[in-house]
Amino acid sequence: TIYTIENGLALVKSFPNLVANHEKSFRGLLKRFIYELNDFLDVEGNLIERLAIFEELQGDLENSFDNKTSDEGFWYDAAAFYGKIGEIHQSMGQVEEALKYFDDEVRLFKELYEANPRSESVKQSLAISYMKLGEMHQSIGNMEQAFSFFENDLELTNELYKANPQNESLKIGLATSYSKL
């Protein structure tokens, strides 16, 4: 058998259908796609291929929302999923599509944060999501919206920093937040 990019992409895109009805397998596959395969493919670019894989997963992911509303890990991965798609669209210059997915990412992280406001990782992820939305709005000239998102980012990042002022990455994050404003 001769393997081509198209054959490999078709094979990878078939995986979600194989496990969509098996929650544990689907969640494992979702994590692998979001955090490993996407990052691996990102090194080479592969925007179209990455987007095709995520689009294949999206329907199965959205069908899973109703069943797992109390599973924080699932919601976290779902939010990250939308952020990754937004980043791909942003890299392709598709600003409106990127904004749509970044909005979904913020919505899910915000729901997670409201359910668990003590979670530092959720708070930090929400802050980063606000920053991404601010940057997108800034790039298209929506300065009031950009400013609002940057303020939200600063508020959360400042809370994180005050809780752990010795953390160097939080200091850098706080400086970045001030810089954006």
Band (pLDDT 50/70/90 cuts) for residue 37 is confident
Concatenated DSSP letters of the chain:
----HHHHHHHHHHHHHHHTT-HHHHHHHHHIIIIIIHHHHHHH--HHHHHHHHHHHHHHHHHHGGG-TT-HHHHHHHHHHHHHHHHHHHHTT-HHHHHHHHHHHHHHHHHHHHH-TT-HHHHHHHHHHHHHHHHHHHHTT-HHHHHHHHHHHHHHHHHHHHH-TT-HHHHHHHHHHHHH-
Band (pLDDT 50/70/90 cuts) for residue 95 is very high
Query: In a 10 Å sphere around its CB, with 0-12 CB exposed, 13-18 middle and 19+ buried, how is residue 167 labelled?
Result: middle
Condensed to tens digits (0 to 9), the pLDDT of residues 130-162 reads 999 999 999 999 999 999 999 999 999 999 999
Q: How far is CA 58 from CA 33, 78, 89, 116, in A?
A: 11, 9, 15, 25
Q: Are the beta carbons of 83 and 107 closer than 8 angstroms?
A: no
What pTM value is reported for the model?
0.80
Mean pLDDT, the chain, integer: 83
